Amino acid sequence: MFSKQKYLEELDLSFNNLTILNLDMFVPYLTNLKKFLIDGNGLTELQGNRTFSEAFPQLQKLGVSRNRFNCSYLHHLLIPPSLPESVVLNIEPDTNLDETPHIRDVSCISQSQEIVNASFTAEESRLESQIHMLSKQLDIVGWHSKNLELHLAFMQIFAYVMVGLVLVGVISLITLRYLKNQRSGRYDRSSIVFRSNATMEANLTLGSEDLQ
């Protein structure tokens, strides 16, 4: 990447959300670099075996402020022989009003701050885990709720069908009884007529005998 940049004198990588940076990637290409800025990233340490002086022999200005370097590690980076005192440090304004430790005016994270940050990180992870579990439980409850709604709808349809069948059965029973009664009425009237005819014939026979 930097093999053709051997005459480069300034390189600004500040505020690029960098979390990893290896100084070995610049060796041996940027031997003429005079200004190197990596302010405002999320760096906690630098990868590789080179120091700033070894990676950039002509370095005159360095910016490493507003990162997340541990104080002891930052001391190793900025204090001779790792970095000559002649190198000017670029300091980006920090909006954090809390009193923080610093090395050569570059703020850093003390061991106590690291413990507090680790505690906050652990608590944040625990809360995220609980929120994730609650979200899963809510999904399960929602799934059961949908199933319950389906079961209730099925039971309602089943109830309607059963009521319909009962009504059909009742209507059929009433109809059958009505037809049965109708048929019974016809048979009764025929018998009455038959007995009436017999009576009339008997009366006629008796009348004819009397006449003789």
pLDDT in tens, 22-47: 999 998 899 999 999 999 998 999 99
Q: Per the domain annotation, does 125 fall within a domain?
A: no
Report the amino acid identity of residue 210: D
With beta carbons less than 8 A apart as the criterion, state whether 52 and 78 touch.
no
Sheet-wide strand order for 10-12: 10-12, 35-37, 61-63, 88-90
Phi, psi of 90 (to 5 degrees): -85, 125
Q: Per the domain annotation, does 21 fall within a domain?
A: yes
Q: Per the domain annotation, does 207 fall within a domain?
A: no
Going from the C-alpha of 69 to that of each of 46, 89, 195, the distances in angstroms are 9, 15, 125
- Domain of 26, CATH number, reads 3.80.10.10
pLDDT in tens, 48-95: 999 999 999 999 999 999 999 999 999 999 998 889 999 999 998 877
**For the chain, how many structural domains are there in total?**
1
Q: Per the domain annotation, does 147 fall within a domain?
A: no
109: which strand partners? 70
- For residue 36, the enclosing domain spans 1-109
Alpha-carbon gap, residue 107 to 87, rounded angstroms: 17
Q: Per the domain annotation, does 70 fall within a domain?
A: yes
